[in-house]
Structure 1
Amino acid sequence: MTPEDAARASAEAVGGISSLFMLAPSTYARGAELGFDGMDFYVAGRGAALGEVDADVVAAAFVFFHPPTVRRMWEASASVMSRRDAAAAWAAACHDWAREHVPADVDAARLAALAGQVVEAASPAGAPLFAGWRALEEPPADDASALAVHRMNGLRELRAALHGAAVLAAGLTPLEAVLVRTPYMAGIFGWPEPYPDVAGVAEAWASAEAATDAMMGRVLGVLMPAELEEFVALSSALHGVLSG
């Protein structure tokens, strides 16, 4: 298995494992307890890895979200807690969700170790949310479920950043990319209707996805061939169990 093969084979798991905590009702129940309103916890918590910045910086890092929507939620959440505390609360929600949902028969410790090698060696160039998440405190090694999902979220942020760059390089707008890949998310990402016709841009999106695999493959190249196979197998198995 080549690193690019591994990037392609693990794309769904890398993108999907930590997205499940981001979509979990328990995450937003926790946000409400802390004083956030709905999706404000997502924008405040995820974006807070960037620090105390203007909303346009957060929108730039999110890439695929409607910038005015990001601004509204970012500014609405400013009074709830400091950005540093919001980042910590978001990470804690990730860890709590992992402890509850990662099954004991998954080798979370090994997945955490493999993902950790990649996270540690990866360049942060063009990936500010990945860089910010990597700078947060990790769970301890004996908290394997939380550590595995924490590191997989780092890889999610990295792949998302690389994909955003590939989409823009392919000549697509962020909204077009959302409508091709996950049209049901356009409203959640804040984009107002009417939406443009994207019938003619599927090929450009596929080219961007292939470029993302190539870039992510270079990142995964820090792993040996046998480790690549392990990473794909473990991450795919965990994603399969978690997504039901």
Structure 2
Amino acid sequence: MKIKKLYILLFITGIYATSFAQSWGVHKYELYYGLGGTNLMSDVGSPNDPSKLAWVRIFNTVGAYGNAGLRYNIKPKQYVSANLALGQLYAEDPVEDPDFYTLGRKANSFFTEITLRYEYQIIKEKKKRTVYKILGENRLKNFNIPTYLFIGAGGLLSVGKYSQIDGAYVPSVNYFNFAPVIPYGIGFKTRLTNLSYLNVEVGLRFPLSDKLDNLAQGTHGLLSSDQYQFVTVNYIKKLKSNKKGLPRLKRR
């Protein structure tokens, strides 16, 4: 009888120890970093047609940036992340194009953006099948791209240089350095190794300001506030949790 009780005690202890180990050893955290491009849709470089809701001109509205962040898996299909982005927001009036409103202005700013985001996975990654299960099956049938949507809140701090295209100085009369911002968009991931992914993300930013370009025209209806977009390519690395539930950054 005593031996039976001992076995039961050892069995319960084993279950508890296993569940405890799994709770802090799993890969709930993801570290990511990458590079991309920005597109600034503001009054500088905007089209004459106020009904046009989006525009991209490579030499007039596009800049470069980099970002890094930490993502945490709170529930199946649900994540939260903290993101830091540094880069350039650029806009220049295309004076040679009659379809674009122009004052001959140029806006070039360096920005720092910090955001917190909620992410929901709309297409979940399929579990890897063994070679025996995929023999005789169409490989495209087992192919999928994990996809997620995100929305959040944060702030944008930018330091800008504003001038006429001919180089004449334009005082920063209307310019505010800080603006609250709402990020939203879509992302795609594909597995590289068991613990890493390649990530492509298309994100839109809605700042609560119409003065990022030192000009407050508000000529585009719902887009009366300046807006900008990110297209990013990230490398993602899954991290284990330590006994306190925090990400373990160093290998042992």
TM superposition score normalised by structure 1 = 0.22
Which fold has the larger relative contact order, with Cα–Cα distance below 8 Å and residues 6 or more apart in sequence? 1
Q: Give the number of the structure whose alpha-carbon radius of gyration is greater.
A: 2
Flag the structure with higher helix content: 1
TM superposition score normalised by structure 2 = 0.22
